[in-house]
Amino acid sequence: MSKAITLKEAVKKPDLLASGHRLCAGCAEPIIARLVLKASRGAIIATTATGCLEVATTIFPYSAWRIPWIHTAFENAAATASGIEAAWRAMRRKGRGPLARYETLDIVAFAGDGGTYDIGLQALSGALERGHDFTYVLLDNEAYMNTGIQRSGGTPYCAWTTTSPAGTVIPGKREWKKPIDEIVIAHETPYVATVSPAYPLDLMQKAARAFETEGPAFIHAISPCCRGWRFPSNKTIEVARLAVETCFFPLYECRVEDGRPIYKLSPPSLAIAKRPERKKPVEEYLRIQGRFRHLFRPERREGLIERIQRWVDRRWEMLLEKADL
């Protein structure tokens, strides 16, 4: 374990994702990407699956990446990361090639929820199974925001999107969010963590642990999207915090030791586990977002809100059981 990260030290580290990228004002993705890159140990190579982060940071002829960066198609961010790792190991073995001199190399793949839940799942699954040493960061904005807010496997129940419109009969998306973390943990991935940009220190510490992990590491970041979730651009961090405080998106880490997943809640969620009265009703999280407006207007749809609350409670209880709390 290297030196512990502090905000005081991290603020001095230069940003590896430069200003001047063209993501929307108030986007959470560059916040997460900057924080993850701040936690890198040194030499680092990034690859990004198609998505907002990719298209907005690399509009020809400009690039916002101050590190080696490789373009990837939608479905194979994890496969590209595997290839980088294999090439680095081959160069180390032969003692020649541009990567041969790096003793450690942080390889990070950024992908959105479309590139992870739906399109990139097979590449991710294959890379996890082969056990390549890389870090996969899932920037979960819960729909295909880059192409205009189409629903994905990561879109939560009842959320409005352009392909799951909310009307009098259908209340937005009719399916539940896919439990991607459990799918990844089921691969016996050495390190899995969920992060929220509202807790920057927690995020950087987890990213540092992911880089240090031998073998694949998976970071699931909630990335509120002011355009697609329909809230003012200055509320991004507020929404990301509410997701944690309502236990809609609890923060935890999971390590696999002797083939057994060991869950550990992170401080913001642990505080709620210890004092359950701090857990906020999910309604506070839903009400702030326009994509759930049809649950409150023109009339309150109590049944649906109740159903979401039950889903949140059930998943939270399951997590507490797994974390032995």
Partner 1 sequence: MKEAKPGWRELPFGAVPYKSSLEYHTGDWGVERPEFDLEKCTRCTLCHFYCPEGAISFDAGHPEVDLRYCKGCGICANECPAGAIRMVRKG
The residue ranges that bind partner 1 (CB under 8 A) are 7-8, 10-12, 15, 17-31, 34-35, 57-58, 60-64, 66, 197, 200, 226, 232-238
Using the minimum distance from each CB to partner 1, give the nearer residue, 34 or 220: 34
51/49 Cα distance (integer angstroms): 6
Using the minimum distance from each CB to partner 1, give the nearer residue, 54 or 133: 54
Using the minimum distance from each CB to partner 1, give the nearer residue, 55 or 256: 55
* β-sheet with 106-112: strand ranges across: 69-71, 44-48, 106-112, 135-140, 217-222, 191-195, 252-257, 260-265
CB of 33 to partner 1, least distance (A): 10
Q: 135, 107 in Cβ contact below 8 A?
A: yes
CB of 104 to partner 1, least distance (A): 25
Using the minimum distance from each CB to partner 1, give the nearer residue, 165 or 232: 232
Q: 254, 262 in Cβ contact below 8 A?
A: yes
22/204 Cα distance (integer angstroms): 24
CB of 61 to partner 1, least distance (A): 5
Q: Where are the beta strands (DSSP E) in 178-233?
A: 191-195, 217-222
- Give the closest residue to 141 by CA, choosing from 34, 46, 23, 21: 23
287/229 Cα distance (integer angstroms): 11
Using the minimum distance from each CB to partner 1, give the nearer residue, 31 or 272: 31
179/183 Cα distance (integer angstroms): 7
CB of 240 to partner 1, least distance (A): 10
CB of 30 to partner 1, least distance (A): 5
Using the minimum distance from each CB to partner 1, give the nearer residue, 104 or 233: 233
SS3 295: helix
